[in-house]
Structure 1
Amino acid sequence: MALGFTPKLIYYAKLSKPRIIWLLDLAALAGAFLAGRILPLNLAAVLIGGTLASGGSMIVNEGIEIEKDKVMKRTSRRPTVMGYVNKKEAIVVGSIMLLLGTAIGLIANPLTSFFILLGGLIYILVYTVWLKPRSPLNIVIGGFAGSAAAWAGYAAMVDKFDLASFLLGFLIFMWTPGHFWSLALRYKEDYAKAGIPMLPVIMPENFSAKMIAISNTLMIPFALSLYFYLGTTYLIVSSVMSAVLMYFSVRLMRNPNAEEAWTSFKVSSPYLAVLLITVIIIRLMSII
């Protein structure tokens, strides 16, 4: 029995998309440190609860999208597609994880639990079920799922939602379209086969590249605005990182192909990660 149970856990771990979860956990950590104080038990609650809820939401997403994943080369080897985890199992297990993560968030406070649940519901119901099959705005509105992670981390420390919390979460929201449109441009044919109306699928490549650049440009003021809470060091780091990001956005506009889109995608992940780590380090230094 144990031999059959262990591989199943491995399949669920793969379905939970750990490469996305670590960035969501980093957002929660940044939110917690931005609040200006660290409560260890609350921090553990938001990280454990958030990780479970995020992973569960991803698993539900992949349970719902088995048929689409089958026709996309990028997703054709997922455990759900291969038959190791069926649709019902994915939805049930993922939903249990989401509810368990939400309950753990209550250890911190109800507001933290609310944001953990909100992120999961936005990802499953708003993004996966409603917008992704119907609208190129899918990833735009779905970006609030990432924002909720930062808001949960902040709320876990101070039990409130204020301008500082909003700005950090909205930075993640504004970062999301450019990041995922770059991925969609790289895998345009995959999304087209699956019938998913991502922006690069329904619009020409040069238009998509321009929208990625515009989205990134509109994000930068929100990135820089955290200077008012974090000071000059953050302003320098965010300015340099924003300049690098815009350099690759301009390159993509000039040469809107899959290779440049992939480069843009790979640059945008470290961009957000560096900003979040900078928030953590600056606040950590002030707490110490």
Structure 2
Amino acid sequence: MAVSISARLIYYAKLSKPRIIWLLDLAALAGAFLSGKLMPLNILVVLVGGTLASGGSMIVNEGIEIDRDKVMKRTSKRPTVMGYVSKKEAIYVGSSLLILGTLIGLLDNPLTAFFILLGGLVYILVYTVWLKPRSPLNIVIGGLAGSAAAWAGFASTTSSFTLSSLLLGLLIFMWTPGHFWALALRFREDYSRAGIPMLPVIMNENFSAKMIAISNALMIPFALALALFSGVVYAIVSLILSIIQMYFSIRLMRKPTGEEAWRSFKFSSPYLAILLILIIITHLI
């Protein structure tokens, strides 16, 4: 039976992982406002281009990972697994969106387009194809994809790459391992069945919890350093949020269970989102 266009668009919307894209768009916005220059058209271009490229990269990822997604409960209902979107179609459509998003980025400047493309290539080639099935360092290096979103946003209004944008990208880079290792600890059996060597799969719960805490602790200096460019209010709020984040990390070390890992994971997204929103607000004011 033929599938309607609206149904197919819904399938692709689900495959694009909108809950991740909104955070990447927020990173791009924070990067754009961190420059101190309000350029609405440039910001609109990087958001449109970045959204298309990020969504396309996610779709390619899920096309490549159909076989692994089939054995994981968390991913077993994705449109690719259910047969609504084939592997070949997902890769073709996703790659086309990545290329389109990169070309749109060129309307700002070449550096913006470069970072948009870099994020997509890191996520697809470095993370999905190379590291994810082979190394527990997969999500560590894969965090560069999120950093690239912030760098694209900064470049959109400045055509440059500076210390402040570097720090913002490093914040996202350092946030990524603790966030996704907590998720992997919560769904450890899923990742094990799929043969994905996430850190909590190849190491025990105690070691994994310690590494999550260390990763989060290493992230905090970058969060606080951005106060040099974002003011006192940002400094105070980022310090409070960082203390709360470490509280959840310590809880997880004391009791390295799936439930505690889930609490740490659930707080880490708002943690980063609030910091990014604060950067935007402080530079708007």
Fold shared by both chains (TM-score > 0.5): yes
Q: Which moved more, 1:34-43 or 1:47-56?
A: 34-43
Instruction: Supply the distance in 1 between the matched residues of 2:262 and 2:178 (Cα, whole angstroms).
Output: 12
Q: Tell me how far apart the structure 1 counterparts of residues 74 and 231 of structure 2 sit (CA, whole Å).
A: 41
Mind listing any 5+ residue stretches in structure 2 that lack a counterpart?
none
Q: 2:186 aligns to what?
A: 186
Query: Which residue of structure 1 aligns with residue 163 of structure 2?
Result: 163
Number of residue-to-residue matches in the alignment: 285
Q: CA deviation at 1:2?
A: 9.6
State the 1:101 CA deviation: 0.2
The residue aligned with 2:70 is 70
Aligned to 2:208: 208
Amino acid across the alignment from 2:64: I
Match of 2:244 in 1: 244
Match of 1:147 in 2: 147
Cα distance between partner residues in 2 of 1:200 and 1:2: 42
Instruction: Provide the residue aligned with 2:34 in structure 1.
Output: 34
Q: Quote how far apart the aligned CAs of 1:189 are.
A: 0.2
Which residue of 2 is the match for residue 198 of structure 1?
198
Map 1:69-108; keep pairs closer than 5 Å: 69-108=69-108
| CA displacement 1:209-260 (0-9 Å, x = unmatched) | 0000000000100000011111111110100000000000000000000000
**AA aligned opposite 1:283:** H
SS in 2 for 1:82: coil
1:61 matched to which residue of 2? Answer: 61
Q: Cα distance, 1:130 vs. partner?
A: 0.2
1:201-280 superposed matches below 5 A? 201-280=201-280
TM superposition shift of 1:264 = 0.4
Aligned-partner Cα distance in 2 for 1:109–1:87: 33
Deviation for aligned residue 1:3: 6.2
Cα distance, 1:40 vs structure 2: 1.5
Amino acid at match of 1:207: F
Secondary structure of residue in 2 paired with 1:84: coil
Distance 1:222 1:4 in 2: 47
| Aligned alpha-carbon RMSD (Å) | 1.0
After TM superposition, give the deviation of residue 59 of structure 1 in Å.
0.1
Q: Residue 66 of structure 1: CA displacement? A: 0.1
3-state SS, counterpart of residue 107 of structure 2: coil
Please give the per-residue CA displacement for 1:91-139, whole angstroms capped at 9, x wherever unaligned: 0000000000000000100000000000000000000000000000000
The aligned counterpart of 1:16 is 16
Q: Deviations over 1:175-231 (max 9, x none)?
A: 000000000000000000000000000000000000000000001000000111111
For 2:156, the aligned partner's letter is: A
| Structure 1 residues 2 and 44: CA distance shift in structure 2, 3 A | farther
- Between the aligned partners of 2:243 and 2:41, the Cα distance in structure 1 is 38
Q: Which moved more, 1:222-231 or 1:180-189?
A: 222-231
Q: Which AA in structure 2 matches 1:98?
A: L
Partner of 2:115: 115
What SS class does the counterpart of residue 256 from structure 1 fall into? coil
Percent identical residues: 75
Q: Distance in 2 between matches of 1:264 and 1:98?
A: 32
Measure the CA separation in 1 of the matches of 2:58 and 2:49: 14
3-state SS in 1 of match to 2:172: helix
List, as ranges, runs of 4+ consecutive aligned residues in structure 1 with deviation greater than 3 Å.
Answer: none
Which residues of structure 1 form unaligned runs of 5+?
none
